[in-house]
Amino acid sequence: MPAEDRRRLTWSRVESRLVLRHRPSQLFLSELIGTVVLVIIVDLGCGLATITQRGGIKNFVPAVGIGNGLGAMTGIMVSLRLSGGHINPAVSFAMFTLRKMSFKHLLLYQWAQYLGGFLGAMVVNLLYFQIFNNLNGGQLVAFGPNGTAGTFFTLPNPAINNGVAFADQVVGTSLLLLAVRAITDPNNLNTPPALQPLLIGLVIMGLIISEVIVSGTCLNPARDFAPRLATLALGYGPEVLSSRSFYFLVPLVGPYVGAVLGAWVYELAYAKPLQLLVEQEAAAALNEDHANDDEDFPTARVQQPHLQQRTPILASATKRRPCDDEDSVKAESLRHAATASLEEKAEC
């Protein structure tokens, strides 16, 4: 065998062994990579906002919004075909409550998404740590004017309490799920799969830009809680979890509540009525097709009543009555009498 053919055969064997054929492993890897992509792009955008604020540039909102929108769009593009492109534990949990995924798959998705968020934050730290060290003289500062932890997770407005921040998380994620379900519902917008990541990314960008000033607008626990654990492992200190009366629980729990609320509002207010509407339209179209068939072939409809009208007439014409039997007997008697008279005359 030539050397080139041997190399191709060897590479083909290696490639076949590297490809995952176990379906749960495929789903896990798809959600893992999609979430890694999401967090890298989002946190890079937030890091840009952190650095530019230190340089005196205060209008960081567009950078954060664009980073979140593009990160979500790219992550969904990567994982949509294989695993559905959830890349968000709150979205997966909402789909579970709608009975659109099993509990086993829910656990698989949650684990992949949180692990992806952790790994994505580690990658961003690898890219930014020299810049952050230069800003703070080699020290890791989480919060305050020199803090850099906001690169990795959301920070609320100091003027609001945790209750308002929780409400903001619930409202934002509810709106996200309403939009996501409308975009992906075949009975509603019926958006082609190739356009779904773009539209969802635009929705997320709009929500972030409009709400980031309140609570940071997490929308995705894997984008907030997992990077918090990464910063804790990197040495930022326990305050990343304990600050503001354990504020980390707000962007962790709020998106779950909001996702379930938004998913079920859409299910009851739109999905079910749209399904009924589609069924009614299908029935009406079927009746119209039957009507068109009758117009194209009118004989079947026209001749049937005509036959039904003629049938009694034909039956009455062939039915024998008692008077008919008496007349026939009389006629037969007269015929026999006439025949006998003719025979007598012939003998004479």
- CATH classification at residue 253: 1.20.1080.10
Closest-CA residue to 172 (of 86, 267, 250): 250
Residue 53 banded pLDDT, cuts 50, 70, 90: low
226 and 308 fall within a common domain = no
255 and 325 fall within a common domain = no
Tens of pLDDT, residues 244-293: 899 999 999 999 999 999 999 999 999 999 999 999 988 888 888 777 76
Indicate the number of domains in the chain: 2
Residue 235: which region, alpha, beta or left (left: phi > 0; alpha: psi -120 to 50)?
left
Give the sign of the dihedral formed by CA 258, CA 263, CA 264, CA 270.
positive
318 and 182 fall within a common domain = no
**In this predicted structure, what is the pLDDT of residue 318?**
37
Mean of pLDDT values over 28-33:
97
269 and 317 fall within a common domain = no
328 and 224 fall within a common domain = no
Is 296 inside any structural domain? no
- Centre a 10 Å sphere on the Cβ of residue 29 and count the other Cβ atoms it contains: 17
Collapse the DSSP code of 191 into the 3-class scheme (helix H, G, I; strand E, B; otherwise coil) and give the result: coil
User: How many angstroms separate the CA atoms of 181 and 218, rounded?
Assistant: 19
Residue 316 banded pLDDT, cuts 50, 70, 90: very low
Is 290 inside any structural domain? no
Between 195 and 314, name the one with better pLDDT. 195
- Element of type H or E holding 189: none
Mean of pLDDT values over 195-209:
96
For residue 49, is pLDDT > 60? yes
51 and 185 fall within a common domain = yes
Residue 51: which region, alpha, beta or left (left: phi > 0; alpha: psi -120 to 50)?
alpha
For residue 340, is pLDDT > 70? no
**In this predicted structure, what is the pLDDT of residue 197?**
97
pTM over 0.85? The answer is no
87 and 149 fall within a common domain = yes
Mean of pLDDT values over 98-114:
97
Q: What percent of the chain has pLDDT over 70?
A: 80
342 and 213 fall within a common domain = no
223 and 319 fall within a common domain = no
**In this predicted structure, what is the pLDDT of residue 138?**
77
259 and 195 fall within a common domain = yes
Average pLDDT over the chain reads 83
Tens of pLDDT, residues 294-314: 666 555 444 444 434 433 333
323 and 224 fall within a common domain = no
Mean of pLDDT values over 94-102:
96
**In this predicted structure, what is the pLDDT of residue 297?**
59
204 and 342 fall within a common domain = no
User: How many angstroms separate the CA atoms of 154 and 117, rounded?
Assistant: 13
User: Are 210 and 216 in contact, with CB atoms under 8 Å apart?
Assistant: no
Tens of pLDDT, residues 142-183: 888 788 888 899 989 899 999 999 999 999 999 999 999 999
Is 294 inside any structural domain? no
**In this predicted structure, what is the pLDDT of residue 7?**
74
Longest CA span, the chain: 162
Number of residues written out for the chain:
348
Residue ranges making up the domain that contains 36: 21-238+245-284
Is 16 inside any structural domain? no
Residue 93 banded pLDDT, cuts 50, 70, 90: very high
User: How many angstroms separate the CA atoms of 108 and 27, rounded?
Assistant: 8
Closest-CA residue to 179 (of 239, 107, 258, 245): 258
User: Are 49 and 157 in contact, with CB atoms under 8 Å apart?
Assistant: no
Between 221 and 23, name the one with better pLDDT. 221
Contacts of 232 (CB under 8 A, 6+ apart): 238, 240, 241
> Integer distance in angstroms from the first to the last C-alpha of the chain?
129
